[in-house]
Amino acid sequence: MHDDMQPVRLLQLDKCLKDGQIPCRWVPDLGYGYGYPLFIFYSPLAYYVMEIIHLTGFSILTSIKIGFIFSFIFSGLTMFLFGKALWGKLGGLVSSAFYVYAPYRAADVYSRGAVGEFWALGFMPLILWAIQNFIKNSPSKKNGLLLSLSITGLLLTHNLTFIAFSPVIVVWTLLLLHFYKKWNYIPKLVISVIPAFCLSAFYTLPLVFEKQYVHIDTMTSGYFNYLAHFVSLSQLFFRGHWGFGSSELGPFDDLSFSIGVIHWLILFISIILLIFNRKKIKNKLSFLILSFFTGLFFGSIFLTHSKSTFIWQTLTFMKYFQFPWRFLILTILSTSVLAGFPIFLLKSNRKLSILYASLLIFSVIFFNARLFRPTRYIDINDQQKFSGQNWEYQITASIYDYLPIFAKAPPAKPAPQIPQILDGDSQIIQFQKGTDWQKGKIVTTTPTSTIQLPLFYYPGFKLWLNGQEIPFNYQNELGLITFQTPSGQNDFIVKMTKTPVRLTGDILSLLGLLLLFILYV
């Protein structure tokens, strides 16, 4: 995979939690050793799950592999549950197989290493299933809890997927409310959703209100400008090339964006079957479901194509998606759901439905299983991964993504191991570095001395000298925390504290837990 940052991110989270930084926001080693606010902006849930795996005794690298495997199982299970609710058990199995073996999923894992997006695929069908249970069956405590937790999961797993999926949630909810004539459930739905936004507030509030403090402009310009990454219809439907490279300008990417021949064929088969069997189908909900997911298929495909440029230009926030082909997550969701529809039509003939279900499952595995393989196998352990050139690559890769705005440019060399004495005569007697703090002892023999810490400034950092909070300066090329010491022995400590936004987010998350307990326990 060309985005091989998962190991170092998990290592940083592990260091945070063991250092007592909960929730983890500032990581100490990235940014060439100066640290930066990775988990203020990068969706954290998948890494917390992999950290739990790591804490049971597995290595960092093995924990990530187990995490990917778990996500495969999780998404297959959630799609089965949703498909079963729509089409029955056999239909659910077919939908699950199509979801797990969609070509874009192979690109997500083996080419891109997109942990957050890959995990988010498990929450999308879970949310749709939870909404259906809530409206069709009853707004019970169990269904309300499931809805709250599934939305929380998506919010904390991949924020871009949540934004892309939000219109789907709204339309699906309105469709079911209309069909079942249960508009009086709207207040209960709102009450079930409130805890989700509260629970995730520790992450979402700083994400929204602190983005101006990092070089976020670099994430939407140059290579990351969405205009360079639209895909052609041939890439979506016909191009058979499979590569492990990256998305490039033009239609010759070394990264596949294929929907999958089996996937788009089953879509058109489902539409044809509905047209020719519409008089036989008494369940009118089937028409609504098919129309909804067919519309979702064509709508998501349209957003990946350059013909949709006017939408991207009108909805300016969409530039943060960077790659229009991200909307393939909705394409594979829709085709996978619809894959179970032909089995639903055959439910009166048990033997025939089993035969066709087996044929579809075998076909999608036979055609697509070959894609689910790494470009090569590397025998490497944690120690090798986090040392030498491997380590230097990981702490500098994607450095601009979350580089504090106070640094005019990324550092050209690693951060020094100890504070630097810029002027005056001082000696560093002691120095310790945690995940979001640094402290030490400095003996100054001149009237004053200027000290520069190997630490980027970011809102929330405070400095205490000899027990008293003091002002400091960060008006330098790298935006490093710089302060003055008086003559004599000086004890200093600098630590990231909670800004009002972070504190509010943390409090809301705690209130969300309390609200969840009050409503559903």
Beta pairing partners, 490: 442
- What's the length of the chain? 521
Q: Rounded to two decimals, what is the model's pTM?
A: 0.92
Q: What is d(CA 103, CA 447) in angstroms, rounded to the nearest whole number? A: 67
What pLDDT does residue 120 have? 96
* Per-residue pLDDT, 266: 87
Q: Give me the numbers of helices (H) and strands (E) for the chain, helices first please.
A: 21, 6
Q: Which of 138, 167, 113 has its CA nearest to residue 333?
A: 167
Q: Is 250 left (phi over 0), alpha (psi -120 to 50) or beta?
A: left
Q: Does domain 420-500 have CATH number 2.40.30?
A: no
Sign of the CA dihedral running 208, 212, 213, 216: positive
Q: What confidence score (pLDDT) does residue 378 get?
A: 79
- Please answer whether residues 194 and 145 qualify as being in contact, where contact means their C-beta atoms are separated by less than 8 angstroms: no
User: For position 281, what pLDDT does the model report?
Assistant: 62
**The CA-based dihedral angle spanning residues 269, 275, 277, 282, taken in that order and rounded to the nearest 10 degrees:** 120
**Neighbour count for residue 475 (Cβ, 10 Å):** 9
Whose tokens are 């939408």? That residue is: 311
Residues pairing with 496 in the sheet: 461
**45-102: pLDDT as tens digits:** 999 999 999 999 999 999 999 999 999 999 999 999 999 999 999 999 999 999 999 9
Place of tokens 């990530």: 64
Name the region of 444 (left: φ>0; alpha: ψ -120 to 50; beta: rest).
Answer: beta
Low-confidence ranges of the chain (pLDDT < 70): 1-3, 222-224, 238-256, 277-283
To which residue do tokens 């402009």 refer? 217
pLDDT of residue 225: 74
Instruction: Tell me how far apart the alpha carbons of residues 364 and 361 are, in angstroms, rounded to a whole number.
Output: 5
Q: What is the pLDDT, as a whole number, of residue 461?
A: 98
**C-beta atoms surrounding 519 within 10 Å:** 15
Residue extents of the structural domains in the chain: 43-371, 420-500
Q: How far apart are CA 248 and CA 494, in angstroms?
A: 43
State the pLDDT at residue 149: 97
> SS3 for 292-359, per residue?
HHHHHHHHHHHHHCHHHHHHHHHCHHHHHHCCHHHHHHHHHHHHHHHHCHHHHHCCCCHHHHHHHHHH
How many Cα atoms sit within 13 Å of 173 on the Cβ side? Answer: 20
The strand pairing partners of 469, in sequence order, are 464
Residue whose tokens read 């600098």: 494
pLDDT tens across 472-497, in order?
999 999 999 999 999 999 999 999 99
Q: Which helix (H) or strand (E) holds 314?
A: helix 309-314
Rounded to whole angstroms, the Cα distance separating 330 from 324 reads 12
* Residue pair 332/264 in contact by the 8 Å Cβ criterion: no
Give the model's pLDDT for residue 350. Answer: 85
The type of residue at 460 is: G
Residue 241: what pLDDT? 58
pLDDT at 112: 76
